[in-house]
Amino acid sequence: MVDDVCHYDIQQNDKYGRYLVANKDLDGGDVIFTDSPFAVGPKPDTPPLCLSCYCPVENTLCASCGWPMCSEECSKSATHAAECEVFSTARVRFQKVEDWTVSAPQLDCITPLRVLLAKEKDSERWKRELEAMETHTESRKLRPTWGADQVNIADFLIDHCKLGNRFDKDLVQRVCGILEVNSVEIPSRGGFSIRALYPRLAIAAHSCVPNIVHTILQNDYQVQVRAAVSIKASEILYLCYTHSLSPTLLRRDFLADSKFFMCDCRRCADPTELGTHLSTLKCNKCDNGVIMSTNPLDNDAPWACSEKNCEFRTSGAAMRKMLAVVQAEIEQLDALEPGPAAIEQREAVINKYKSVFHPRHSLLLSLKHTLAQLYGRVEGYGIDELPDLMLERKAEFCRLVLSTLDVIMPGETRMRGMMLYELHAPLMFLARSEFSAGLITQEKLKERLQEPIKCLAEAARILTREDPQSPEGITGLIAQQSMEQLTASLECL
């Protein structure tokens, strides 16, 4: 059930279509609304997974319909019941695959089918909340994915699954468009990311500097939307549809490809990305210059050095190609198991590109963000094993991420909470190390430990709002306990 909290109004204009505005003054952390998903299910191109709990499966199928299920309990879940009947009646089974770790296009039909079945079950909610959703049908028809959706989803459901007496192919394609444009990627407890369609969240306008955050409550995949910062009545509620730490070129490409619009928010319009320099490169032609786009709202605009006397210029296409090469290198690192190599290879890549990118460039920042989490957590780099130099490096990376978030994701966000939790440990260990070495007095130690206590308190406040079984929710409880323990130990000094 959706709760009664509803601190927004719906408005409409030419730029955003429908959008949300606050209908009262809000403080950071205030709940604005909670929304139930119209449908939840696999993303496109996902590997075989249990269609109920979304955990990995291999060679295990539902006894009734023959589609992926991890257990008899899951095969009898309400999540799977309606589609199980469809597949069983039509005698259409999942075709087993040789490699159960690669994407299975057969599963692309599941979430659209669930939307169709939900429409049939609750036509009033469909009319009230989904009828007006944007689908960008004409733009989608020009893309190869339209043909794939026609074969793998529309033809499959209507012809093979014999649903022609209940739905038509135009409606199936419309549902595919609704999902492509409006659904959001969410975590599942099973380990795979999935997607969900939240009718009210989908109305929120986009900005690369959002002022709202959302939390997935995993018992029923409800979404809870909160103010990240103080918001005045009548201000627009902005959600970020893309990864906030990406550079402008990649954010705008993603939004054009997936959401069918070119972002022109104040962050995208500023070559310095509001002073964060997440897109900025160093100039190797001169000593002091940095390279930025001459017009960030034109993805093909040339890039040039900021120094008047330096004539360095390059094309937007060359910049996009270079970013793709480095991004691919980073994605290979992301596939590594957490361990010493995961740290050492990331440090090597930072060293390799430190003369190319501004130290706060998003690609370097993403590496530093990951290292802030790995230092103190992997074999050979445990928090009590780290020398002071590495503790200082972990703290430096945490502060760098936090100062960037202050600008591009201000307020009480999950990423901020997690970084504050990571920051408390090096600050605490460095203070204790200096006290043990006789470099600071007991009074100075007490003073120095106030900052990690503040980090833990803020991390706990932000993260305990998350689902208690999510990684962030668990970290929030640990932060609360650690803060209480550290406060108690201070009182004993």
For 238-287, how does the pLDDT look when each residue is reduced to its tens digit (9 = 90+)? 999 999 999 999 999 999 999 999 999 999 999 999 999 999 999 988 87
Q: Which of residues 210, 239, 268 is at a domain's end?
A: 239
Is residue 279 domain-resident?
Answer: no
Q: Answer yes or no: is pLDDT of 111 > 50.
A: yes
Long-range residue pairs from 85-88, CB within 8 A, at least 24 positions apart, any chain: 86/113, 86/117, 86/161, 86/163, 87/161, 88/64
Q: What angle do CA 124, 127, 133 make, to 5 degrees?
A: 145
Is residue 421 domain-resident?
Answer: yes
Give Cα separations from 94 to 67, 68, 112, 315, 421 (angstroms): 5, 7, 16, 47, 44
Taking residue 70's Cβ as centre, other Cβ atoms within 10 Å add up to: 20
216: domain CATH number is 2.170.270.10
Residues, the chain: 493
Is residue 278 domain-resident?
Answer: no
Based on the fold, state whether residues 58 and 139 are members of the same structural domain: yes
Based on the fold, state whether residues 20 and 143 are members of the same structural domain: no
Least confident of 92-106, 137-151, 461-475: 92-106
Based on the fold, state whether residues 79 and 164 are members of the same structural domain: yes
Tally the domains of the chain.
Answer: 3
Confidence (pTM): 0.91
Is residue 232 domain-resident?
Answer: yes
Q: Compute the average pLDDT of residues 97-105.
A: 87
Is residue 114 domain-resident?
Answer: yes
Based on the fold, state whether residues 171 and 227 are members of the same structural domain: no
What is the predicted pLDDT for the residue at 218?
75
State percent of the chain over pLDDT 90: 87
Based on the fold, state whether residues 490 and 383 are members of the same structural domain: yes
Task: Tell me the pairing of strands 313-314 and 238-239.
Answer: unpaired
Is residue 182 domain-resident?
Answer: yes
Is residue 303 domain-resident?
Answer: no
Which contiguous run of DSSP H or E holds residue 461? helix 450-463
Is residue 269 domain-resident?
Answer: no
Based on the fold, state whether residues 150 and 190 are members of the same structural domain: yes
Domain span at residue 127 reads 39-197
Q: Answer yes or no: is pLDDT of 334 > 50.
A: yes
Based on the fold, state whether residues 185 and 218 are members of the same structural domain: no
Based on the fold, state whether residues 44 and 186 are members of the same structural domain: yes
Backbone dihedral region for residue 263 (phi beyond 0: left; psi -120 to 50: alpha; all else: beta): beta
Based on the fold, state whether residues 161 and 220 are members of the same structural domain: no
Based on the fold, state whether residues 17 and 74 are members of the same structural domain: no
Based on the fold, state whether residues 20 and 136 are members of the same structural domain: no
Based on the fold, state whether residues 78 and 183 are members of the same structural domain: yes
